[in-house]
């Protein structure tokens, strides 16, 4: 009985140690990258000048919001005919979901949205954490 009790106590101590180590590792684990993909379809009456202003304003967010670690963009060039009217793609990278969330509520982003709104027909946004290569 004494051996059983000693073994049980040892198992409980080991389980406690492993749980504490797992918690410490989880707390110190690096945040996962977040990619924020934004597609725009502009209204038919959006002029080329309006669209250029939107492009420049969106691209400028990388310099205005520290949480944006990378921003690239371009216009659709796919020959597949599956763009469903979306002409512009913006890809932003954040170090974490928290950084992405800060970006979403940032005053500079909100100001951009107000500039965009009169010219925007539709937007599609997808966020993901990159997996494999």
Q: Is 90 part of any domain?
A: yes
Q: Is 132 part of any domain?
A: no
Q: Is 121 part of any domain?
A: yes
Q: Cβ neighbours of residue 8 under 8 Å, at least 6 residues apart?
A: none
Q: Is residue 18 located within the same domain as residue 43?
A: no
Q: Which domain holds residue 9?
A: 1-30
Q: Is residue 49 located within the same domain as residue 107?
A: yes
pTM for the whole structure: 0.75
Q: Is residue 23 located within the same domain as residue 40?
A: no
CA distance to 51, 58, 67, 71, 84, per residue, from 48 (Å) = 5, 15, 30, 22, 20
pLDDT of amino acid 17: 39
Write out pLDDT tens, residues 5-24.
Answer: 334 334 334 344 334 444 44
Q: Is residue 12 located within the same domain as residue 63?
A: no
């Amino acid at each position: 009985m004494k051996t059983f009790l000693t073994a049980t106590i040892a198992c409980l101590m080991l389980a406690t140690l492993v749980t504490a180590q797992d918690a410490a590792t989880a707390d110190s684990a690096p945040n996962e990258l977040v990619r924020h993909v934004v597609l725009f379809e502009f209204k038919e009456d959006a002029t080329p000048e309006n669209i250029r202003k939107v492009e420049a304003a969106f691209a400028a967010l990388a310099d205005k919001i520290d949480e944006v670690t990378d921003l690239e963009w371009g216009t659709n060039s796919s020959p597949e005919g599956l763009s469903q009217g979306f002409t512009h793609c913006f890809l932003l990278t954040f170090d974490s979901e928290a950084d992405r969330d800060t970006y979403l509520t940032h005053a500079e982003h909100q100001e951009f949205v107000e500039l965009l709104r009169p010219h925007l027909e539709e937007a599609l946004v997808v966020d993901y954490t990159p997996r494999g290569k």
